[in-house]
Structure 1
């Protein structure tokens, strides 16, 4: 009995040590990203940062999503970020740190999947490719919801991989629940559901035969595929019910409405997608080699990233607009497929080749040598990754802070200013986005009504200045009730104060 207890203790300690080791590796990743990128210093990486920050700020102040705070995204990131603020304080750095943690989870899950299917070397190479892919690090330090959603989806896929190896239903349950959380973070991972169902069907064929259950209904309910779907649906609907996230107009129509699709002419899919892929054309080349290896060697597990890439490409060719932060939807399967290319090159070398050079078949090595040479040349020739920082104005930020004590509300088309100052914006216009204008959900009648209702003491225009000033109704109201205190030389940002007579 003592020996058995000792063995169990050793097993538990081994599992704990393994968990701590993985946490240590992920913490190293976080530290490395913090060192190489200006996470703390950067004013703003993307306009969406301000939208996500101000929504979380308002939610933490007691305003509810969808009924008071207009939001075209699922609720979980906003809710999580608001609780995160309550623990670590209201700072942009704290929010970016949360996204970096999600990025670490994505990288870790991606590596684990490839390690189990292809081995350590292809997994390491593909993970490094993903980390260095176009704007991946930039997106990993931006307060945006794409990386968090994709990290949860990748974790869900990893749990399915564990199910394939161990055939334990807890992995199915966890996978379905985690994917539901991913969907309630950003809905763009929904296309993975049929791909993962196909993955599950493959798993079911591999299960050992079991004794027949008493009735067919019981058998179908407890099958992995049905169980996964039930958990996914119940978890997704449960989260939606708790946070009242069933607003069709805000969550669906704002993205897929005809007006949004028809008027998104500035973001041409045919032009943008090749441009995105050109940033990582060396990885695309290696992914092409990996795809050929999957097809010719009939590697069943490789069908998943291949169908992911094809499906995501077709969706992005149809969907408008296509933003640069959609690119990880392509980068992940590209780097995944590249791992199969690396595996092909490794397998072309005979075992023990480094100890017996005479055993090499140089005819077989011509292709991998050429492929490796082209990969190295393309990596050297690839252009520098653009940082994509929007401009900032410290003068306006200082003005907002100067008048903070006398300000209850601030109106701005760039809410990052409001968040830095710790000032609320009218929740109805917390999200003043390009899509919202294009869909017709937000009009100048709505904006004037908001201004009259809240009487914001400060106004900062820093994104759509000409759009606002070209509207006679808005310009008249602005001139009658506000005094301009600042305008930069380029006319890209303006600051206004409410007139005493209008208070």
Structure 2
């Protein structure tokens, strides 16, 4: 009964978080046409998968399969609406917040945990990413759950938690592979950073067993999912597109240092608290604090070298920053409130740190990132010809999702990465047009690039009638003659 009561209480906390976000962000969740182009890609892949098309062999897909499959089942239950899809992401965010809070609370107490959780929740674009149909946050949520399950093992020494942690981390990798850098860090977390054990050259049997219990389920589940969805036979989609990105210094996303600095500038106050926390970790020898510190250093090094760099990678560093900030809050709290005899000299440094923190809060510039442009006139045209449409060709598949229309699965993802890497050529695009003969064409993102190919343009002019173009020619709508 006690376990059931605890489970219900924890479930209520997660639902309260979801309810809170729904209350403060109901209008954006329900009415924003598209937060990011990735929303359209994820939604149309899900729609096509639900229509019976297979990932990789039919639907071009440069990401692991799990999120698409999960979202498909979710929308089958709750309806194919943008609100339902965003609600699933919000539930993942609630799970991440829950694990994050409990990890910190068990070591540092409720005040540092609550403060760090609020910092994470209010970090740059976290709320927006909590309601955007994108795969980064679900992957991080599952990774945090994996770490939290290891933490539960350390509390009660039930190896079931280690096995479940390995399975959960496999699910994280099969959602988005960018959490793979945490694997070696989690190895150290499993052995609890026991430096003496390593130095003795006699790694205990217990450590070997625990590591195997985590790694074997991880590898097994990851491989089984990959084999089932034929993921490993299409490495060109999963790997080549991401690695073969030629430099484009005209975009801020290829200027890693400048773009990363721009992102970090939104949370200078949090970073300052994290620096205090890092000092407290080494000063007071908080062994568990080494994990978020190693996470932060590793993530920063990766983001400084990975190109292109996208804003939705920011939680990779926001999570450890806020985690480390909890140690800073604990240090300041102990300095001000936990000493029976207050020594004025001892309060000088903590007081100065608080003043600096307040100043950084004031100086941190707001830099919100709006949703991508929408064109309701285009949407109305798509709906107008919906009944006579079997296929729609579009470089912005969110229009197809709202209309519940199929796009040729080969071009479900017409992303910047795919075009920039040369994985999708003009000839291939023209071949798709000739194969499917879509009754509608909507150009809304890569219009100039697509029309720069003379063969593509000639085919459209010969077979389609233009029904709409905006004032600058960047958005167009065509129907089959």
- What TM-score, normalized by structure 2, do the two folds share? 0.95
CA distance in 2, matches of 1:438, 1:392: 24
- Bigger shift: residues 174-183 or 488-497: 488-497
Q: Which residue is 1:360 aligned to?
A: 342
Cα deviations across residues 408-429 of structure 1 (Å, max 9, x unaligned)? 0000000000000000000000
Please state whether the residue corresponding to 1:223 is helix, strand or coil. Answer: helix
Count of residue pairs the alignment pairs up: 472
Q: Which residue is 1:125 aligned to?
A: 115
Q: Which residue is 1:7 aligned to?
A: none
1:58 pairs with one of 48, 60, 63? 48
Cα–Cα, structure 1 residues 351 and 279, in superposed 2: closer, same or farther, change >3 Å?
Answer: closer
Q: Which residue is 1:491 aligned to?
A: 473
Pairwise CA distance, 1:373: 2.1
* Structure-to-structure mapping, 1:303-314, within 5 angstroms: 303-314=290-301
Cα–Cα, structure 1 residues 179 and 401, in superposed 2: closer, same or farther, change >3 Å?
Answer: same
1:139 aligns with 2:129: yes
8 A Cα contact 2:265 2:365, kept in partner: no
Q: Which residue is 1:464 aligned to?
A: 446
8 A Cα contact 1:264 1:321, kept in partner: no
Cα–Cα, structure 1 residues 280 and 222, in superposed 2: closer, same or farther, change >3 Å?
Answer: closer
Cα deviations across residues 250-295 of structure 1 (Å, max 9, x unaligned)? 11111112xx153476221011111110010110111111111112
Cα–Cα, structure 1 residues 84 and 230, in superposed 2: closer, same or farther, change >3 Å?
Answer: same
2:317 pairs with one of 330, 347, 358? 330
CA distance in 2, matches of 1:281, 1:132: 13
Cα–Cα, structure 1 residues 451 and 264, in superposed 2: closer, same or farther, change >3 Å?
Answer: farther
1:29 pairs with one of 17, 21, 39? 17
Q: Which residue is 1:393 aligned to?
A: 375
Please state whether the residue corresponding to 2:479 is helix, strand or coil. Answer: strand
Q: Which residue is 1:249 aligned to?
A: 236
Please state whether the residue corresponding to 1:244 is helix, strand or coil. Answer: coil
1:427 pairs with one of 404, 409, 417? 409
8 A Cα contact 1:483 1:497, kept in partner: yes
Cα deviations across residues 292-345 of structure 1 (Å, max 9, x unaligned)? 111222211101000100000001111100000000001000000000000111
Cα–Cα, structure 1 residues 179 and 377, in superposed 2: closer, same or farther, change >3 Å?
Answer: same
Pairwise CA distance, 1:28: 1.3
Q: Which residue is 1:212 aligned to?
A: none
Pairwise CA distance, 1:467: 0.7
Unaligned runs of 5+ in 2: none
8 A Cα contact 1:74 1:251, kept in partner: yes
2:99 pairs with one of 109, 117, 123? 109
1:315 pairs with one of 276, 288, 302? 302
Q: Which residue is 2:247 aligned to?
A: 262
Please state whether the residue corresponding to 1:485 is helix, strand or coil. Answer: strand
Cα–Cα, structure 1 residues 16 and 261, in superposed 2: closer, same or farther, change >3 Å?
Answer: farther
Runs of 4+ in 1 over 6 A off after TM superposition: 203-207
8 A Cα contact 2:190 2:207, kept in partner: no
1:154 aligns with 2:144: yes
CA distance in 1, matches of 2:458, 2:305: 40
1:234 pairs with one of 215, 220, 226? 220
Cα–Cα, structure 1 residues 295 and 219, in superposed 2: closer, same or farther, change >3 Å?
Answer: closer
8 A Cα contact 1:96 1:143, kept in partner: yes
* Structure-to-structure mapping, 1:32-51, within 5 angstroms: 32-37=20-25, 38-51=28-41
Pairwise CA distance, 1:376: 2.3
1:292 aligns with 2:279: yes
CA distance in 1, matches of 2:18, 2:321: 23
8 A Cα contact 2:149 2:164, kept in partner: yes
CA distance in 2, matches of 1:327, 1:491: 34
Q: Which residue is 1:213 aligned to?
A: none
1:370 aligns with 2:352: yes
CA distance in 2, matches of 1:204, 1:326: 31
Pairwise CA distance, 1:492: 3.0
Please state whether the residue corresponding to 2:30 is helix, strand or coil. Answer: coil
Cα deviations across residues 465-498 of structure 1 (Å, max 9, x unaligned)? 1111222121111111111111122433211111
1:349 aligns with 2:336: yes
- What TM-score, normalized by structure 1, do the two folds share? 0.91
1:481 pairs with one of 454, 457, 463? 463
Pairwise CA distance, 1:202: 2.0
- Bigger shift: residues 387-396 or 148-157: 387-396
- Bigger shift: residues 92-101 or 234-243: 234-243
